[in-house]
Amino acid sequence: MTGERVLVTGATGFIGSHLVERLLEQGLAVRCLVRSNKPLPAGAEAVKGDLLTGEGLERSLEGVGLVYHLAGVTKPLTVSGYDDGNVRATETLLRACEQAGIGRLIHVSSLAAAGPSPDGSPLTEEDTPGPVSHYGRSKLRGEGAVRGSPLASRTVIVRPPVVYGPRDTDVLQVFRAAAKGLIFTIGRQESYFSFVYVSDLVDGLLRAAAAESAGGKTYFLASLLPVTWAEFGRIAASAAGAQASRIPVPVWAAQAAGVVAERLARLTGKPGILSRDKIREARHRFWTCSPALAMHDLGFRARTSLQDGIAATYAWYKDAGWLN
């Protein structure tokens, strides 16, 4: 794909920033649709635009053959914000891509669109989705927009589970607590989740774009084996030279904290990671999925071990001054 112009939405976000760097390393001409003046890696071209209104889309797609759609909303101030950011924005992009004759679109969804596993067995792409949160339902509706679009056969939908790595601000909270010897979990039972290190996810996104046979398909991109939050926290604590203890938080207390966090978000205009929507997701024990189809079709492998990924992430957080 050397020399092909690529458009990335969500380029200033956690995953998007890593993807843009990798694309530039491969010698691609990278254009980023952005709403703010956040810095981009040297060599990336910024085009101001808005996915909800369509502003700037026509210009951003000029000369583009491949689009990575990572932009979305995970922490809106209102429930309607999920559909604005994850459904209507996607519909606007799809119409613009169709008019521009885009050859391939990689649509980044989420395991939340599929929902949790009811019995602990890793979900496959053939399982009927059962999202349990406003966020998950909006991501599933975004997938529906893709499947109902004329671009469906040229689009690959990827569903990452928990993504961690340098620059992430969500799993950062787990690292901060673990460094202080604390692992907070909801309820008394262990909870299992699938995960992927950010550089491995980027590798999967590149493979999805390169595989001609992947058009029209959906893939889970995850490490092979799940982990418990307690074990993840213990490894993070070990990276920090600490020993962490698991502290079960009653469901009622977590829900109350979600209510308080939402009220504070509305007062400050700054939504955080904690909300009732996230508590709805966290109450389920098994957020697990199988990467078998991606391994078969794309040759995808999440090669970063959990220990190595956590160690690299912790070192980055520490150097960046994010652990306080």
Which of 59, 4, 9, 65 lies closest to 32 in space, CA to CA? Answer: 9
User: Are residues 107 and 144 in contact, defined by beta-carbon separation less than 8 angstroms?
Assistant: no
Say if strands 66-69 and 104-108 run parallel, antiparallel, or are unpaired: parallel
Helix 306-320 crosses helix 172-179 at what angle (to 10 degrees)? Answer: 80
Q: Can you tell me the distance from the alpha carbon of 24 to that of 45, in angstroms, rounded to the nearest whole number?
A: 11
Output the pLDDT for position 193: 97
274 pLDDT tier (thresholds 50, 70, 90): confident
- Write down the pTM of the prediction: 0.94
Tens digits of residue pLDDT in 16-48: 999 999 999 999 999 999 998 888 999 999 999
Residues 6+ apart with CB under 8 A from 287: 111, 116, 117, 161, 162, 191, 192, 193, 194, 226, 281
Output the pLDDT for position 194: 98
Average pLDDT over residues 302-309: 98
Output the pLDDT for position 184: 86
Tens digits of residue pLDDT in 119-137: 999 999 999 999 999 999 9
Q: Can you tell me the distance from the alpha carbon of 44 to that of 180, in angstroms, rounded to the nearest whole number?
A: 38
Q: How many CB atoms lie within 10 A of CB 169?
A: 11
Tens digits of residue pLDDT in 149-172: 999 999 999 999 999 999 999 999
Q: Can you tell me the distance from the alpha carbon of 60 to that of 32, in angstroms, rounded to the nearest whole number?
A: 8
Dihedral sign (CA 42, 47, 52, 54): negative
Output the pLDDT for position 2: 42
Residues 6+ apart with CB under 8 A from 127: 114
Burial class (CB within 10 angstroms; exposed 0-12, middle 13-18, buried 19+) of 2: exposed
Output the pLDDT for position 275: 78
Residues 6+ apart with CB under 8 A from 104: 65, 66, 67, 154, 155, 156, 209, 215
Residues 6+ apart with CB under 8 A from 267: none
- Mean pLDDT of the residues in the chain: 93
In a domain, 105, yes or no: yes
Average pLDDT over residues 56-85: 94
Starting at the earlier edge strand, list the strands of the sheet with 286-287: 227-228, 192-193, 286-287
- The one-letter amino acid code at 93 reads L
In a domain, 323, yes or no: no
Q: Can you tell me the distance from the alpha carbon of 203 to that of 235, in angstroms, rounded to the nearest whole number?
A: 24
What size, in residues, is the chain?
324
Output the pLDDT for position 103: 95
Dihedral sign (CA 286, 292, 298, 302): positive
Which of 47, 46, 45 lies closest to 55 in space, CA to CA? Answer: 47
In a domain, 113, yes or no: yes
Backbone angles phi, psi at 287, to 5 degrees: -110, 75
Output the pLDDT for position 324: 76
Domain containing 48 equals 5-163+196-222+288-304
DSSP 289: B
Active site annotation includes 135 = yes
- Report which secondary-structure segment, H or E, holds 197: strand 195-197
268 pLDDT tier (thresholds 50, 70, 90): confident
Output the pLDDT for position 256: 83
Cα angle at 86 between 81 and 87, to 5 degrees?
100
In a domain, 23, yes or no: yes
Average pLDDT over residues 61-81: 93
The count of structural domains within the chain is: 1
1 pLDDT tier (thresholds 50, 70, 90): very low
254 pLDDT above the threshold of 80: no
262 pLDDT above the threshold of 80: no
In a domain, 315, yes or no: no
In a domain, 270, yes or no: no
- Among residues 135, 192, 197, 317, which one is catalytic? 135
Higher-confidence position of 265 and 78? 78
Burial class (CB within 10 angstroms; exposed 0-12, middle 13-18, buried 19+) of 147: middle
> What CATH number did the domain enclosing 13 receive?
3.40.50.720
141 pLDDT tier (thresholds 50, 70, 90): very high
In a domain, 317, yes or no: no
In a domain, 169, yes or no: no
What proportion of the chain, given as a percentage, has pLDDT over 90? 80
In a 13 Å sphere around the CA of 66, the CA atoms on its Cβ side amount to 23
Residues 6+ apart with CB under 8 A from 252: none
